[in-house]
Amino acid sequence: MSRIPQPFIDDLINRIDIVDVVDKRVKLKKTGKNYSACCPFHNEKTPSFTVSQDKQFYYCFGCGATGNAIGFVMDFDKVSFVDSIEMLASNAGMQVPKEDPKKSNGRPKQDFKSLYALLDKCATYFIDHLKEHPDRQKAIKYLKERGLSGQIAKDFKLGYAPKGWDNLLTKLGTDAADRKALTTTGMVIEHEEDNKRYDRFRQRIMFPILDIRGRTIGFGGRVLGEENRVGPDGKKIKGSGPKYLNSPETPVFYKGKELYGLYQARQAHRELTSLLVVEGYMDVIALAQYGIRNAVATLGTACGEEHLKLAFKYTNTVVFCFDGDKAGRTAAKRALENSLPVMVDGYQIKFLFLPEGQDPDTLIRQIGHERFNELIKRGTPLEEFFFSALSEGLDIQTMSGKARLSKLAAPLLHKLPKSVYRELMFELLAQRTGLNQEILQELISEPAPRLAPEAKAEQPSEQYSSAPPAQASQQNSSFTPPSTQNAFEAEASFGAETASAIERNSPQQNEITLDQATPTEKRNNLQQGPIDLAIALLLENPALAHETTLPDMLESEEAQELEQIFIYLKEREAPSLVNIIGAWGGRFGTQAQNLLIERVNNQLLSLAKRSKGYNDRQELIDAFAKITQQTQALKRQNEIDKLKIKPPNQLSSKERARLIELITTISTTS
């Protein structure tokens, strides 16, 4: 008789979170550090049932019921031990192995708890060095320049790995077992030829990677200085090594199944309405700094099926955020292809493309939390991006273009799970190509095209021409404990630096940056913020209000401001800018007046004036046309969102037809 190996059970318990397991069956409420509810195993009116996320067990003070996630599933779902294991493993994306007990005698068991404990010690070690190490100033300077506060550094447990080849090894590798564990967790690299070890991370800002239960499972490190260009033997190394370096895969860390920042996002939001997938650690942290606490990042790999399965455990909406350049669109196509197999009814995936040269970190500093959230809401739905990506280079108005689109799209749509969403996508393809679904179904056996080439593998850790000497670094022998006066600067210091970082990203500074932009980058910047551009044009030439008509707009602060300015100018004959600003202060106060003054120095208007054949009236007409286009697109998207709230099987035939019509309209106008 086969049985489930104990190491697998231990691994399963380590990977799941009892809070998620219980909350799917009994709605939990956060009460301090733990969660509570009325006990599902006896009748009660006052909650006495407690779930501890730290200890991963439940306990009822009323009836005494207690146990871990496996025991809860057995008791609540009334299933056997094996069935509960299989249910939990399935939800965790794990395959249950079986073993012959006669062959398993004497097999050593992996001690995952000791590995987690060791990695937590490593995290504490790096945090302490960011607070106290004599050379920490370069790390602190970098964090300050990125505008991070002390609180956000604490939330993400940022640390510092100083120079030296055996600092961590000396501190935590006190015996053979510890040194082996450091190697197993990837914190120390072993040089097999002469059995020597050295620290993997040196002179780097350290980003602990946490699992969904908040345990440290690995690290990412951002290089500082030139130390990695010199080997432990003093010889220069070819190449500079990777800018960002991740832990290798270990028994507790699988980078293809983890999302950086997911634990912090869940701590900030008990219910996640969406997750924003960005490219790197600093994007996640910078967005959190400015109030967007639902961002996550993959760990040096493209976002794959396992990442999405993990994300969809906690939300039904995923928004990919990419740069608007060629590399960003290539990454988006790769994410699109990986998304298809997990798109079931009720899930939604969007794509947000940022202006060229921008990343989430820099953009949110310029436009702020609210406007960045608006960009997220306006993300391109998967269905729209799918047909846009496949239609690139095709004239779908011709028969050959439609035929090519059919052969490209049908095999990819076949990857979608059987669902109403899949049927709607095939209906859209039929409408675009004029082919009936029977013919399209015959094309699903065609080889599925690759939308983008495979992502390049993450750069390996530095390799050296010679092995590190037995004592790779002698720093520790002369190391003296720092005084408490050299402790890590308080949040107030970081906060002051945040203000200067924002100042560095003021419109005046951006003006210089945009002056150096390529023509393509200038054009993309001109296409951003048509309301801002329209306001600047009207302030410079108030007579334009008498020559144009205000476009239809959705309600927003910016739209209201444009409307107020337009009406004010329409009612007057060419008032001077001084009169406009003075009147604005009298009507709405000093803050609104200062905002209007900022509008006058709009960088988009400066760029527009540099274009050949500049005409302010035509620029305003174009801006109004862009506003109208965006408004219509948003109205269509809002109507789509309202229809999608209903379960697909509850849509009437009229609603279903309208949904297809709206999606088709968005796709054809993209």
**Residue 507: its pLDDT value, please?**
33
Higher pLDDT: 462 or 416? It is 416
When pLDDT is cut at 50, 70 and 90, the band that residue 102 belongs to is low
**Residue 522: its pLDDT value, please?**
34
Token pair belonging to 536: 């600047």
CATH code assigned at 34? 3.90.580.10
Query: Is 50 exceeded by the pLDDT of residue 181?
Result: yes
**Residue 223 covered by a domain:** yes
**Residue 402 covered by a domain:** yes
**Residue 465: its pLDDT value, please?**
35
**Residue 101: its pLDDT value, please?**
53
| Residue ending a domain, choose from 91, 120, 141 | 91
**Residue 485 covered by a domain:** no
**Residue 535 covered by a domain:** yes
DSSP H or E run through 287 = helix 281-289
- Among 228-237, 292-301, 445-454, 570-579, top mean pLDDT goes to 292-301
**Residue 5: its pLDDT value, please?**
82
Worst-scoring range by mean pLDDT, 33-47, 160-174, 448-462, 646-660?
A: 448-462
Question: Both 418 and 309 in a single domain?
Answer: yes
Question: 390 exposed, middle or buried (CB, 10 Å; 0-12, 13-18, 19+)?
Answer: buried
Q: How far is CA 30 from the centre of its chain?
A: 25
**Residue 664: its pLDDT value, please?**
63
Q: Which residues contact 40 (CB under 8 A, 6 or more apart)?
A: 25, 26, 49, 76
Helices in 420-556 by DSSP H: which ranges?
420-433, 437-442, 491-504, 507-515, 519-526, 530-540
pTM for the whole structure: 0.61
Query: Is 60 exceeded by the pLDDT of residue 446?
Result: yes
Rounded average pLDDT over 217-230: 75
- Convert the pLDDT of each residue in 365-374 to its tens digit: 888 888 899 9
**Within 10 Å of residue 489's Cβ, how many Cβ atoms?**
18
Query: Is 80 exceeded by the pLDDT of residue 122?
Result: yes
For residue 110, what are the CA distances in angstroms to 7, 107, 115, 291, 411?
Answer: 7, 10, 9, 40, 43
- Among 151-155, 223-227, 621-625, 638-642, top mean pLDDT goes to 151-155
Worst-scoring range by mean pLDDT, 255-264, 388-397, 504-513?
A: 504-513
**Residue 455: its pLDDT value, please?**
59
CATH code assigned at 165? 3.90.980.10
Q: What does pLDDT average to over the chain?
A: 79
- In percent, how much of the chain has pLDDT > 90? 29
Question: Both 198 and 241 in a single domain?
Answer: yes
Query: Is 50 exceeded by the pLDDT of residue 72?
Result: yes
Q: Are 664 and 386 in contact (CB under 8 A)?
A: no
Name the residue range of residue 426's domain: 262-445
Alpha-carbon gap, residue 36 to 92, rounded angstroms: 24
Question: Both 413 and 539 in a single domain?
Answer: no
Q: Are 659 and 643 in contact (CB under 8 A)?
A: yes
**Residue 8: its pLDDT value, please?**
82
Question: Both 297 and 438 in a single domain?
Answer: yes
Question: Both 128 and 249 in a single domain?
Answer: yes
**Residue 614: its pLDDT value, please?**
83
**Residue 107 covered by a domain:** no
Alpha-carbon gap, residue 612 to 604, rounded angstroms: 15
Alpha-carbon gap, residue 183 to 252, rounded angstroms: 13
Query: Is 50 exceeded by the pLDDT of residue 290?
Result: yes
Question: Both 270 and 338 in a single domain?
Answer: yes
How many folded domains does the chain comprise? 4
Query: Is 90 exceeded by the pLDDT of residue 287?
Result: yes
Q: What burial letters (b/e) apply to 588-610, b meaning 16+ CB within 10 Å?
A: eeeeebeebeebeebbbbebbee
| Residue ending a domain, choose from 416, 445, 474 | 445
**Residue 280: its pLDDT value, please?**
87
Q: Are 53 and 32 in contact (CB under 8 A)?
A: no
Alpha-carbon gap, residue 605 to 586, rounded angstroms: 26
Q: Are 286 and 146 in contact (CB under 8 A)?
A: yes
Alpha-carbon gap, residue 122 to 398, rounded angstroms: 62
Rounded average pLDDT over 358-368: 85
Query: Residue 204 pairs with which residues in a beta bridge?
Result: 161, 223
**Residue 651 covered by a domain:** no
Q: Are 284 and 359 in contact (CB under 8 A)?
A: no
**Residue 663 covered by a domain:** no
- Convert the pLDDT of each residue in 500-557 to its tens digit: 332 333 333 333 232 333 333 333 333 347 888 888 888 888 889 888 888 888 777 7
**Residue 226: its pLDDT value, please?**
53
Using the structure block, give the residue that is written with the tokens 């006896």: 42
Rounded average pLDDT over 570-596: 78
For residue 233, what are the CA distances in angstroms to 114, 188, 449, 466?
Answer: 33, 17, 49, 7
Worst-scoring range by mean pLDDT, 175-179, 410-414, 513-517, 590-594?
A: 513-517
| Residue ending a domain, choose from 253, 275, 309 | 253
Token pair belonging to 559: 């739209």
Q: Are 386 and 424 in contact (CB under 8 A)?
A: no
When pLDDT is cut at 50, 70 and 90, the band that residue 228 belongs to is very low
Question: Both 269 and 416 in a single domain?
Answer: yes
**Residue 642 covered by a domain:** no
Question: Both 304 and 379 in a single domain?
Answer: yes
When pLDDT is cut at 50, 70 and 90, the band that residue 666 belongs to is low
- Among 8-12, 23-27, 99-103, top mean pLDDT goes to 23-27
When pLDDT is cut at 50, 70 and 90, the band that residue 481 belongs to is very low
Question: Both 296 and 437 in a single domain?
Answer: yes
Alpha-carbon gap, residue 317 to 347, rounded angstroms: 6
Question: Both 167 and 268 in a single domain?
Answer: no
Rounded average pLDDT over 405-412: 91
DSSP reduced 3-state for 302: coil
**Residue 139: its pLDDT value, please?**
92
Question: Both 84 and 189 in a single domain?
Answer: no
Question: Both 187 and 59 in a single domain?
Answer: no
